[in-house]
A and B are shown apart, each in its own frame.
Chain A
């Protein structure tokens, strides 16, 4: 055991990065996706604004971010230079994949962006409002086919929450998973499914072109630029958003955490970051400190409950 410890220390020493990199941000996803873009936008903003001299991004893709998360939690313990990007998808993935590592094993710093889930039907559908949809669901839950992103993701969770909120059994929801909202588009436009549920941005151009009717958005406030009520306003007690966040390594001191939070806040309020959000169409939902911790805890609890209700988690 001692030998092993010594060996670990020696390799640890070999691996301690030279003082060149101020931050290393892990994107627990493949290059090009949302988390990768978030990490690289952060890298750009931090370097341009002079918050950090040298920021590196590494990609560890797989399994809704849980592979990267597990690696981050075990290998970066106590490292004040390591950051990881994550999001709401991770909360569900941790539960469905029975990941040995959860968000409790890292130090969440701040929520950065968020996106509303949109509820859409094809323009020629006889469903005009959320009430019409609820009526159909109540008549025959299984006859309403939902199309959205992968099982256990935020789209699926939103569908389950809606069914539960109107007093139906979430396991009866006929949810058809696609690898993303964009892929589900053909099935929604072609009227093969009843209703589409995915991120607003996935449907934006079809909503604007009048090919899809936006019934409601899932956030607690309306989405600027779209003429549709929130679910709350439409009488369904559901509020959920697909947020992205940044977390630091486990085992860091409170001072280190405060320093990282200050850097992230400086980054998130910088002009470079704001410009990037605009060009990418991301909505700024910055939240840090205790407020974020409380929000995260509430989200995790609600997600676990609904995933159990849907039957994906035992």
Chain B
């Protein structure tokens, strides 16, 4: 996140500039998508495009405001964050999403459980994954069987409830 700024005492906040760019990007997407809309020939004094344009304009103004704020360095102090745990948790969520349809709720959520525990420094993975899978199965059983929630079942759930895959 280099900004290539000139002032030395008051370095603009690089991250804040990135936020400004994201806000501006959002505005562009809304403008562009809205301009592509087909408008039905209805009796509409204020059609479905007015609000998107207003909100996109607001985002542009806020992006400008964020740039100004970044230049003045008036963003609050940030704590030093450790990124490794974040990757563990995101990895756990992605793993769960990918595994759900094939492996079922308990195994997929066991993976998420283990990754989250790992992010907070608890291992080893094989042990927490096992605990997580058992915990998730109990939860699955209560909610899917007891409360009729539609939750994905996999080989483990079928094996334990019907006795076959």
A-B pairs under 8 A by CB, number: 30
Q: Say yes or no: A14 contacts B165, CB within 8 Å.
A: yes
Q: Does A240 contact B (CB under 8 A)?
A: no
The closest CB in chain A to the CB of B104 belongs to: A14
Q: B162: which A residues are within 8 A, CB to CB?
A: 18, 20
- Other-chain contact of B148, A57, A171, A172, A173 (Cβ < 8 Å): A57
The answer to whether B41 and A171 have CB atoms under 8 Å apart is: yes
| Interface of chain A: mostly helix, strand, loop or mixed | mixed
Asked if B102 and A311 sit within 8 Å, CB to CB, the answer is no
Tell me if B's interface is mostly helix, strand, loop or mixed: loop
Of B41, B42, B155, the most chain A CB neighbours within 10 A belong to: B42
Residue A310 CB within 8 A of the other chain: yes
Chain B residues near A310: list those with CB within 8 A: 40, 42
Beyond known contacts A59-B150, A175-B42, A311-B41: 5 more, CB 8 A cutoff: A14-B155, A14-B165, A18-B162, A171-B42, A173-B43
Whether A11 is near chain B, meaning CB under 8 Å from some CB there, is yes
Interface size class of B (residues with CB under 8 A): 10 to 19
Give Cα A175–Cα B148 distance, bound, in whole angstroms.
39
Chain B residues in 8 Å Cβ range of A174 = 43
Interface residues on A, range: 10 to 19
A312 at the interface (CB under 8 A from B): yes
Flag whether B164 is at the interface (Cβ < 8 A): yes
Interface residues in A197-231 by Cβ distance below 8 A to B read: none
- CB within 8 Å of B: which A125-175 residues: 142, 171-175
Find the B residue at minimum CB distance from A152.
B40
Partner of B40, one of A11, A59, A312: A312
B158 within 8 Å of A by Cβ?
Answer: yes
Given A14-B155, A58-B150, A314:B42 Cβ within 8 A: no
Q: Which residues from B are CB-within-8-Å of A175?
A: 42-43
Interface assignment of B8: CB less than 8 Å from any CB of chain A: no
* Chain B: CB-nearest residue to A26: B150
What's the minimum C-beta distance from A197 to chain B, rounded to whole angstroms?
15
Sorted from nearest, which 7 A-B pairs have the closest CB atoms?
A: A311-B40, A311-B41, A58-B150, A18-B162, A174-B43, A171-B41, A312-B40
Nearest chain B CB to A150's CB is how many angstroms away? 13
B38 at the interface (CB under 8 A from A): yes
Closest to B164 in A: A18
Smallest beta-carbon distance B44→chain A, Å:
9
Cα(A206)–Cα(B38), bound, Å:
38
Distance between Cα atoms of A142 and B45 in the complex (Å): 11
- Give CA–CA (A171, B41) in the complex, Å: 6
- Measured between C-beta atoms, what is the minimum distance from A11 to chain B in Å? 7
Distance in angstroms between the alpha carbons of A277 and B82 in the assembled complex:
59
C-alpha spacing A312/B38, complex, angstroms: 10
Q: Who on chain B is nearest to A21 by CB?
A: B162
